[in-house]
């Protein structure tokens, strides 16, 4: 979730006479160029997970990330070889009927690892997302949820960092399954409605994001998740359209 501090989040209506249509103070409010805050959170029924506020990378962090990516790409060749050998062994076992012990790394499903490139200086790239958030926060939380519910499946939107080759590769190695996310469908994700609450509370000030996340109650979480069956039914009734309100 991202929000511009000082920007306009809710619609602004102005009463005016017909003759005032083109007056500067009646032409609609101008959007400010305030600081942009990017937040991340995680929910499930009767559970509210970790919360994260993205901060801009320092020059030192950028240099370290570039070095780490170079090392990662250098190691790709060795990992590709392991995956390729696993695939060959499985084919041989199918032909001969003799099972061979092979590496389970990423289950040998793919054996071509794409080289990773650093993203531009705008926003969060895949490397930043995986190393700073997914590995230390998201995926450990998913593993814990799977202990309570073996059918657990992760839902994310289609942000590029959520669905890049690198992110998908590293997530699948963790054994975490992810739902196919339909495009342009925020109503089908309960956390989007909680973000609306968060935006309305923090749009005028900076530094209270975590406090406002803490104020989100389990009752609010459950209420939004409980709406999902009805929202899905309406979406199906609309043949995939969005002319409804969740």
Q: What does the pLDDT read at residue 60?
A: 92
Q: What does the pLDDT read at residue 227?
A: 92
In this structure, is residue 24 part of a structural domain?
A: no
- Would you say 46 and 39 are in contact if contact means Cβ atoms under 8 Å apart? no
Q: What does the pLDDT read at residue 220?
A: 95
Expressed as residue numbers, the domain containing 95 is: 57-122
In this structure, is residue 141 part of a structural domain?
A: no
| Bridge partners, 2 (sequence order) | 38
In this structure, is residue 107 part of a structural domain?
A: yes
Distance between CA atoms of 144 and 140, rounded to whole angstroms?
Answer: 6
In this structure, is residue 228 part of a structural domain?
A: no
- Would you say 118 and 128 are in contact if contact means Cβ atoms under 8 Å apart? no
Confidence of residue 98 (pLDDT cuts 50, 70, 90): low
Lowest mean pLDDT among 8-12, 40-44, 173-177: 8-12
Q: Using one digit for the tens of pLDDT, what is the confidence trace for 169-206?
A: 999 999 999 998 776 677 788 998 898 888 888 776 66
Distance between CA atoms of 41 and 55, rounded to whole angstroms?
Answer: 15
pLDDT tops 90 at residue 50: yes
In this structure, is residue 77 part of a structural domain?
A: yes
Strands 36-44 and 47-53: antiparallel
Mean pLDDT of all residues belonging to the chain: 78
Average pLDDT over residues 105-117: 52
Q: What does the pLDDT read at residue 244?
A: 63
In this structure, is residue 79 part of a structural domain?
A: yes
In this structure, is residue 48 part of a structural domain?
A: no
Distance between CA atoms of 61 and 125, rounded to whole angstroms?
Answer: 13
Number of separate domains in the chain: 1
In this structure, is residue 10 part of a structural domain?
A: no
Q: Is the dihedral of CA 236, 239, 245, 246 positive or negative?
A: positive
């Amino acid at each position: 979730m991202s929000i511009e501090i000082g920007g306009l989040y809710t619609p602004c209506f102005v009463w005016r006479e017909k003759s005032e249509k083109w007056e500067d103070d009646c032409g609609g409010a101008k959007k400010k160029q305030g600081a942009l805050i990017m937040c991340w959170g995680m929910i499930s029924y009767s559970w509210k997970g970790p919360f994260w506020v993205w901060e801009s990378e320092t020059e030192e962090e950028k240099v370290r990330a570039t070095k780490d990516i170079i090392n990662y790409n250098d190691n790709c060749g060795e990992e590709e070889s392991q995956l390729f050998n696993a695939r060959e062994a499985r084919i041989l076992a199918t032909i001969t009927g003799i099972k061979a012990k092979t590496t389970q790394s990423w289950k040998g499903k793919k054996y071509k690892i794409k080289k990773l490139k650093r993203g531009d200086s705008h926003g969060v790239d895949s490397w930043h997302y995986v190393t700073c958030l997914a590995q230390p926060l998201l995926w450990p939380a998913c593993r814990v949820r799977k202990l309570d519910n073996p059918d657990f499946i992760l839902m994310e939107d289609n942000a590029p960092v959520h669905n890049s080759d690198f992110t998908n590769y590293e997530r699948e190695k963790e054994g975490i399954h992810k739902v196919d996310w339909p495009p342009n469908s925020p109503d089908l994700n309960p956390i989007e409605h909680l973000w609306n609450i968060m935006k309305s509370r923090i749009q005028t000030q900076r530094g209270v994001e975590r406090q406002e996340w803490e104020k989100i109650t389990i009752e609010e979480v459950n209420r939004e998740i409980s709406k999902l069956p009805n929202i899905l039914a309406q979406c199906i009734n609309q043949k995939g359209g969005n002319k409804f309100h969740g």
